[in-house]
C-alpha cells in the first residue's frame, strides 16, 4: 500500500450530505475484475450528461458543466471536502479505488459511513473527520477564495489553512501507523499465525462442529 | 458470562469475546471469522491479490461462494455461462468459478438448485449458525445477525484478508438496543418496522454501532422476518444487526408502526401510507433542506402530495431483504385472484434462491403470480441493484421490496420506493400505493 505523510493541495467541495457509494461509482463499473481504471467514472451520473458504460473513452463524453469535477478552478485537487455520512450504502471498495484513481488522497467530512471508512485505510486514502461547524466554515472559505489549498500533516494529525489556522483531527493510532508506513495488513496479520493456530486449537476442542 | 464488574454481557460482547484471537495494547482486536460468503462482484480483486502474493486461503472449507449480483433471472439465459448476454457480467461469473476451483472453495453455480442470493443461501444451507462470526464483501451481511451470529459486511481488501488469515484486525462497535414492545397491527410487518426505525433514527443514526433488536415484537417474529429487520440495519448506518447493553436505547411502540413507503432517495426519507411528501420549507437545517430539495427533484414529486395514489410503473418483489418464502406467501395472498393494473409495465417476482423458488412452486405461488400478470423469474439480486438486465429506465417509478432507494440504484434515473411485499403486491394490483389489501 502507498504510504501517506504530507499533502498540500487544492480542495474540491462536494456540498451534499449522505453521498452513497452507488453515486461515487455506479454499479455498471463494478463489473471490472481489476482494482484500477475507475477514475474516469468517479461520480459518473453527476459528472456526465450521457449514460456511462464500462470501457467507453471519457474524453468525448458531454460533461455536466455545473458539477465541481468539471470546473477548472478545482483541477488537480487531491482533497475532497464534503458533508456528513459520506460513503454510506454498499460496501463496494470500488468507491475508494475510484477516488484514489482520480487522484484524491484525503477526504474531509463531519462523518463517514463505517465500511467505507475502513476501506479508505486499506488504500492509502486518509478520511479526516472535523466538526460540522468547521466543515461549514471550510465550505464558505473555499467559495470565497479561488485557489484555496490545505496542507495535511499526518504525523502531527493537523490541517493547515491558508490563513495559518491549524486544525487538529483524531485518528486511530494503529491505522495511522499503517498509513504512515504503507504497511501490508495481511503480512502483519500473518506474523501472528501462531496465535491464530493456538486459537483454532481451543475452538476446535470446544466447538468441533465448526471445523468439519 | 459477566464482565469483571459483575455486569451481564450483551450478545454482542459474548460473540466478540469468543472470537478474540489477540488484542494489541491499544485495543485493536484480531477477530476470528468462522464463515466467509463470497460472490462474483467484490471477490475477483481479492483472489488476484492472493495469487500475486503467492498466498493460499487459510481455511477454504469456511468459504461458500454463490454468484448472485450479476446473474440473469431469465431461465433461457442461464443454461450455460455463454448465454449471459453482458460480456462483463459473464466474465465476473466465470471468474468466480475459476477462482473457486483454483483455491478449493465450494461454489453453488448457476446450474445448481441451491444457487440464489448469498444472504438467503447461507442460512438455508446451514452455513450460518448461531454463535458464529460471518462476513461477506456485501453490506447486507447484517442479515445473518437474525441467527445470533455476529455478521457484517467488509470491503474487498478485507475479503482478501479473511481469505488469507481467517481473521480481521478491527475495534469493537458501540452497542445500540432497539426495543419494540407491544403488537404490530394487521397488515404491518417486519419491513414496515425496519423502515419505521430508519425513519426515526436516520440513515446514519447507528453509524459505529451494532444494533441489537429486542422486545415482544421481535420475540414473536419469524426467522424470515428477523432477517428482513437485520438486513436493513445497515440502512441506519449499523454494520451489525442482531437478535438476542447498550450505549444507546431506542424504544418503539409497536402500535405506532404503520405500513411504510419511502418517498425520497435515502431510506430515512420514509412516511406511512397515510403520509404526504414533506416540504423542504418546513426543515430548519440547511444541509437537510438541500437534501430534501434534491430528493424531490430526482423523484419528480411535489411537496404535500399524498403517498396513497402515487402511480407506479414497475413492481419488484425480491432481494436479500424480501425474497424468502414468507415474503412470497405474503405477496401471493394479496395477488390471488386479482390482476396487475394496466398502468404497471412490469411486475417481477425474483425468488431468493433455487430452493425458495422450488418451495413456492410446490405451494402454487408461481401460478398465482403468473395468472395475475407477474413475471416469475430465476433467483438472483436482480432489480435491487440492476447489475443484470433487470432495471428501471430513466423516470420510471418502482414499488420495490429491496433495501436502497439511492439515485440510480435500480437503473439510471429510476425512482425507487421501498415497501413490504404485501404493500408492493397491493401497489401492483391498484397501480398506485395503497393500504395492503
| Domain ranges, residue A190 | 184-212
Residues A144 and A63 in one domain: yes
pTM: 0.90
Residues A32 and A44 occupy one common structural domain: yes
Q: Would you say residue B435 lies in a domain?
A: no
Residues B322 and B407 in one domain: yes
**Of B230, B258, B286, which marks where a domain is finished?**
B258
pLDDT at residue A40 tops 90: yes
Both B283 and B191 in one domain: the answer is: no
pLDDT 10s digits, B283-340 = 999 989 999 999 999 999 999 999 998 999 999 999 999 999 999 999 999 999 999 9
Indicate the residue of A93, A186, A195 with minimum beta-carbon distance to B21.
A195
B55 and B149 housed in the same domain: yes
Structural contact between residues A167 and A161, judged by C-beta atoms closer than 8 angstroms: yes
Q: What total number of domains does chain B contain?
A: 3
Find the CB nearest B139 among A111, A115, A192: A115
CA–CA gap between residue B214 and residue B210 (Å, rounded): 13
Supply the pLDDT for residue B247.
Answer: 57
pLDDT tier at A44, thresholds 50, 70, 90: very high
Restricting to B residues 387-416, those with a Cβ less than 8 Å away from any Cβ of A are: 387, 404, 406-409, 412
Residue pair A132/A33 in contact (Cβ under 8 Å)? The answer is no
Average pLDDT over residues A181-187: 91
Same domain (yes/no): A90, A124: yes
- What mean pLDDT do residues B110-131 have? 96
Mean pLDDT of chain A: 95
For residue B245, what pLDDT is reported? 46
Overall average pLDDT of the A164-193 stretch? 94
Strands B240-243 and B248-253, sheet pairing: unpaired
Regarding whether A79 and A157 lie in a shared domain, the answer is: yes
Residue B3 lies in a domain: no
**Mean pLDDT to the nearest integer, A155-170:** 96
Interchain pair B91, A31: CB under 8 A: yes
Question: Using one digit for the tens of pLDDT, what is the confidence trace for A59-87?
Answer: 999 999 999 999 999 999 999 999 999 99
B28 and B166 share one domain = yes
Same domain, A124 and A207: no
State ipTM: 0.91
Q: Are residues B25 and B92 in the same domain?
A: yes
Q: How confident is the model at residue A118 (pLDDT cuts 50, 70, 90)?
A: very high
pLDDT tens digits, B156-205: 999 999 999 999 999 999 999 999 999 999 999 999 999 999 999 999 99
Instruction: Assess if residue B437 is contained within a domain.
Output: no
Give the model's pLDDT for residue A199.
97
The sign of the dihedral angle between the CA atoms of B232, B237, B242, B246 is: negative
> In Å, how far is B388's CA from the nearest CA of chain A?
9
Same domain, A109 and A136: yes
Measured CA to CA, the distance from residue A88 to residue B138 in angstroms comes to 13
On whether residue A143 sits in a domain, the answer given is yes
Domain assignment present for residue A43? The answer is yes
B162 and B37 within one domain? yes
**A71 and A129 inside one domain:** yes
Question: What is residue B427's three-state secondary structure?
Answer: helix
Strands B167-170 and B29-32: antiparallel
Using the 3D structure, point to which of B258, B280, B298 is the last residue of a domain.
Answer: B258
Q: How far is it, in rounded angstroms, from Cα B311 to Cα B307?
A: 9
Interface test with B, best of A1, A2, A16, A18 (most B CBs within 10 A): A18
Whether residue A195 is contained in a domain is answered as yes
CB proximity B181 to A under 8 Å? no
Q: Among the listed ranges A101-110, B21-30, B127-136, which one has the minimum average pLDDT value? A: B21-30
User: Average pLDDT in the B88-114 region?
Assistant: 96
B405 touches B417 (CB < 8 A) = yes
Arithmetic mean of pLDDT, A9-22: 97
Instruction: Let me know if residue A1 belongs to a domain.
Output: no
Instruction: State how far the Cα of B196 lies from the Cα of A151, in Å rounded to an integer.
Output: 43
Q: Measured between alpha carbons, how far is B274 from B265 in angstroms, rounded to an integer?
A: 19
Q: What is the pLDDT of residue B27?
A: 86
Domain range for residue B340?
Answer: 270-430
Residue B10 lies in a domain: no
Here the cell at position B386 is 440492476
Q: Which contacts of A156-159 are long-range, i.e. CB under 8 A and separated by 24 or more positions?
A: A159/A108, A159/A128, A159/A130
Task: Calculate what percentage of chain B has a pLDDT beyond 70.
Answer: 97
Tell me how close the Cα of B430 comes to any Cα of chain A, in angstroms.
Answer: 31
Residue B418 belongs to a domain? yes
- CB proximity list for B311: less than 8 A, separation 6 or greater: B343, B397, B431, B432
Exposed e or buried b for every residue in B197-232, given b needs 16+ CB within 10 A?
bbbbbbbbbbbbbbbbbbbebbeebeebbbbbbbbb
Cell of B90: 459473464
Cα separation of B272 and B435, whole Å?
Answer: 10
> What does the alpha-carbon distance between residue A38 and residue A32 come to, in Å, rounded to a whole number?
9
Q: What is the CATH number of the domain that holds A42?
A: 3.20.19.10
Min Cα distance A196 → chain B (Å) is 6
Per residue in B247-288, pLDDT (tens digit) is 567 888 898 999 999 999 999 999 999 999 999 999 999 989
CB atoms near residue B75 (< 10 Å): 11
pLDDT digits (tens, 9 = 90+) for A76-116: 999 999 999 999 999 999 999 999 999 999 999 999 999 99
What's the CA gap between A26 and B405, in Å, rounded?
14
Residues B144 and B229 grouped into a single domain:
no
Pair (A34, A137) in one structural domain:
yes
- Count other Cβ atoms within 10 Å, centred on residue A147: 10
Each residue of A189-199: pLDDT tens digit?
A: 999 999 999 99
User: Could you tell me the CATH number of the domain that includes residue B381?
Assistant: 3.30.499.10
- The answer to whether B21 contacts A188, with C-beta atoms less than 8 Å apart, is no
Please check whether residues B95 and B83 belong to one and the same domain. yes
Residues B63 and B196 in one domain: no
Shared-domain flag, residues A199 and A107: no
Whether A34 and A120 map to the same domain: the answer is yes
CA neighbours within 13 Å on the CB side: how many for A76?
Answer: 8
Residue B3 has a pLDDT of 60
For the sheet with A149-153, list strands across it.
A126-129, A106-109, A79-82, A6-14, A149-153, A158-160, A166-168
**Percentages helix, strand, coil for chain B, rounded to the nearest 5?**
35, 20, 45
Total number of domains in chain A = 2
What local confidence, expressed as pLDDT, does residue B5 receive? 63
Average pLDDT over residues B359-366: 98
With CB atoms and an 8 Å threshold, state whether B24 touches A26: no
* Interchain CB contact of B174 with A (< 8 Å): no
The reply to whether A19 falls in a domain is yes
Q: Distance (Å, rounded) from C-alpha B141 to C-alpha B15?
A: 16
Q: Is residue B382 part of a domain?
A: yes
Are A23 and A81 found together in one domain? yes
The predicted-structure confidence for B384-409, as pLDDT tens digits, reads as follows 999 999 999 999 999 999 999 999 99
Element (H, E) at B368: helix B365-372
d(CA B432, CA B202): 26
Q: Are residues B22 and B164 in the same domain?
A: yes
Say if B226 falls within a structural domain. yes
Instruction: Establish if A126 belongs to a structural domain.
Output: yes
Q: Find the DSSP H helices in B57-155.
A: 87-103, 118-124
* Tens-digit pLDDT profile for residues A51-61: 999 988 999 99
Residues B92 and B232 in one domain: no
pLDDT over 90 for what percent of chain B? 92
Please report residues of A whose CB lies closer than 8 A to that of B34.
Answer: 210
Q: Which residues of A touch B203 (CB under 8 A)?
A: 18, 85, 88
Q: Provide the shortest C-alpha distance from residue A172 to chain B (in Å).
A: 9
Kindly state whether residues B384 and B369 are assigned to the same domain.
yes
Please, are residues B306 and B397 in contact by the beta-carbon 8 Å criterion? Answer: no
**pLDDT at residue number B433:** 98
Q: Are strands B106-107 and A158-160 parallel, antiparallel or unpaired?
A: unpaired
Higher pLDDT, B253 or A149: A149
Q: Say whether both A177 and A206 belong to one domain.
A: no
**Residue A179 clears pLDDT 90, i.e. is over it:** yes
Distance CA A174, CA B21 (A): 17
Instruction: List phi, psi (to 5°) of A166.
Output: -120, 115
pLDDT band at B366 (very low <50, low <70, confident <90, very high): very high
Over 60: is that where the pLDDT of A126 sits? yes
Inside any domain, residue A152 = yes
- pLDDT exceeds cutoff 90 at A135: yes
Q: Would A158 be classed as within a structural domain?
A: yes
Say what the pLDDT of residue B8 is.
76
pLDDT at position A88, please? 96
- What's the maximum distance between 2 C-alpha atoms anywhere in chain A? 66
Boundary of a domain, candidates B170, B186, B212: B170
A158-160/A149-153 β-pairing: antiparallel
Amino acid at each position: 500500500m502507498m504510504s501517506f505523510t504530507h499533502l498540500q493541495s487544492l480542495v474540491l467541495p462536494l456540498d451534499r450530505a449522505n453521498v452513497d457509494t452507488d453515486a461515487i461509482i455506479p454499479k455498471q463499473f463494478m463489473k471490472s475484475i481489476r482494482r484500477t481504471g475507475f477514475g474516469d467514472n468517479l461520480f459518473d451520473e453527476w459528472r456526465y450528461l450521457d449514460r456511462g458504460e464500462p470501457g467507453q473513452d471519457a474524453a468525448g463524453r458531454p460533461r455536466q458543466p455545473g458539477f465541481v469535477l468539471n470546473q477548472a478552478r478545482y483541477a488537480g485537487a487531491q482533497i475532497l471536502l464534503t458533508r456528513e455520512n459520506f460513503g454510506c450504502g454498499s460496501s463496494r471498495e470500488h468507491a475508494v479505488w475510484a477516488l484514489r484513481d482520480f487522484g484524491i488522497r484525503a477526504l474531509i467530512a463531519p462523518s463517514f459511513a463505517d465500511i467505507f471508512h475502513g476501506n479508505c485505510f486499506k488504500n492509502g486514502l486518509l478520511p479526516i473527520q472535523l466538526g460540522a461547524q468547521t466543515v461549514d466554515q471550510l465550505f464558505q472559505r473555499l467559495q470565497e477564495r479561488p485557489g484555496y489549498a490545505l496542507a495535511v500533516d499526518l504525523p502531527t494529525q493537523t490541517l493547515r489553512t491558508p490563513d495559518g489556522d491549524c486544525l487538529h483531527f483524531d485518528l486511530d493510532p494503529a491505522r495511522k501507523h499503517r498509513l504512515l508506513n504503507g504497511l501490508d495488513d495481511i503480512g502483519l496479520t500473518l506474523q501472528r499465525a501462531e496465535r491464530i493456530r493456538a486459537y483454532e486449537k481451543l475452538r476446535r476442542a470446544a466447538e468441533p462442529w465448526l471445523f468439519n | 458470562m459477566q464482565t469483571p464488574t459483575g455486569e451481564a454481557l450483551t450478545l454482542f460482547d459474548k460473540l466478540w469475546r469468543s472470537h478474540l484471537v489477540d488484542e494489541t495494547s491499544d485495543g485493536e482486536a484480531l477477530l476470528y471469522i468462522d464463515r466467509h460468503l463470497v460472490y462474483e462482484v467484490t471477490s475477483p480483486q481479492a483472489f488476484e491479490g492472493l495469487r500475486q502474493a503467492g498466498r493460499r486461503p487459510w481455511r477454504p472449507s469456511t468459504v461458500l461462494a454463490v454468484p448472485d449480483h450479476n446473474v440473469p433471472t431469465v431461465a433461457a439465459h442461464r443454461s450455460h455461462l455463454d448465454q449471459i448476454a453482458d460480456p462483463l457480467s459473464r466474465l465476473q461469473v466465470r471468474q468466480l468459478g475459476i477462482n473457486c476451483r483454483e483455491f478449493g472453495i465450494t461454489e453453488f453455480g448457476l446450474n445448481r438448485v441451491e444457487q440464489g442470493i448469498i444472504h438467503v443461501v447461507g442460512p438455508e444451507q446451514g452455513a450460518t449458525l448461531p454463535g458464529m462470526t460471518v462476513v461477506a464483501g456485501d453490506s447486507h451481511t447484517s442479515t445473518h445477525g437474525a441467527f445470533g451470529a455476529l455478521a457484517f459486511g467488509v470491503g474487498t481488501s478485507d475479503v482478501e484478508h479473511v481469505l488469507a488469515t481467517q481473521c480481521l484486525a478491527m475495534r469493537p462497535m458501540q452497542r445500540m438496543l432497539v426495543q419494540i414492545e407491544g403488537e404490530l397491527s394487521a397488515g404491518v410487518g417486519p419491513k414496515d418496522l425496519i423502515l419505521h426505525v430508519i425513519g426515526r433514527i436516520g440513515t446514519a443514526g447507528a453509524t459505529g454501532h451494532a444494533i441489537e433488536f429486542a422486545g415482544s415484537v421481535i420475540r414473536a417474529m419469524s426467522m424470515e422476518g428477523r432477517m428482513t429487520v437485520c438486513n436493513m440495519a445497515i440502512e441506519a448506518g449499523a454494520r451489525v444487526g442482531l437478535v438476542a447493553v447498550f450505549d444507546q436505547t431506542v424504544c418503539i411502540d409497536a402500535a405506532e408502526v404503520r405500513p411504510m413507503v419511502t418517498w425520497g432517495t435515502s431510506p430515512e426519507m420514509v412516511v406511512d401510507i397515510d403520509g404526504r411528501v414533506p416540504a423542504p420549507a418546513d426543515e430548519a437545517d440547511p444541509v437537510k433542506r438541500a437534501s430534501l430539495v434534491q430528493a424531490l427533484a430526482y423523484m419528480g414529486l411535489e411537496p404535500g402530495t399524498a403517498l396513497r395514489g402515487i402511480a407506479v410503473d414497475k413492481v419488484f418483489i425480491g432481494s436479500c431483504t424480501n425474497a424468502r418464502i414468507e415474503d412470497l406467501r405474503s405477496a401471493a395472498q394479496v395477488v390471488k385472484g386479482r390482476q396487475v393494473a394496466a398502468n404497471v409495465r412490469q411486475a417481477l417476482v425474483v425468488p431468493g434462491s433455487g430452493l425458495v423458488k422450488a418451495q413456492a412452486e410446490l405451494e402454487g405461488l408461481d401460478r398465482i403470480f403468473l395468472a395475475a400478470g407477474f413475471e416469475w423469474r430465476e433467483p438472483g439480486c436482480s432489480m435491487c441493484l440492476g447489475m443484470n438486465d433487470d432495471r428501471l429506465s430513466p423516470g420510471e417509478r418502482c414499488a420495490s421490496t429491496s433495501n436502497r432507494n439511492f439515485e440510480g440504484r435500480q437503473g439510471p434515473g429510476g425512482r425507487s420506493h421501498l415497501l413490504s411485499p404485501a404493500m408492493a403486491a397491493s401497489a401492483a394490483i391498484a397501480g398506485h400505493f395503497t393500504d395492503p389489501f
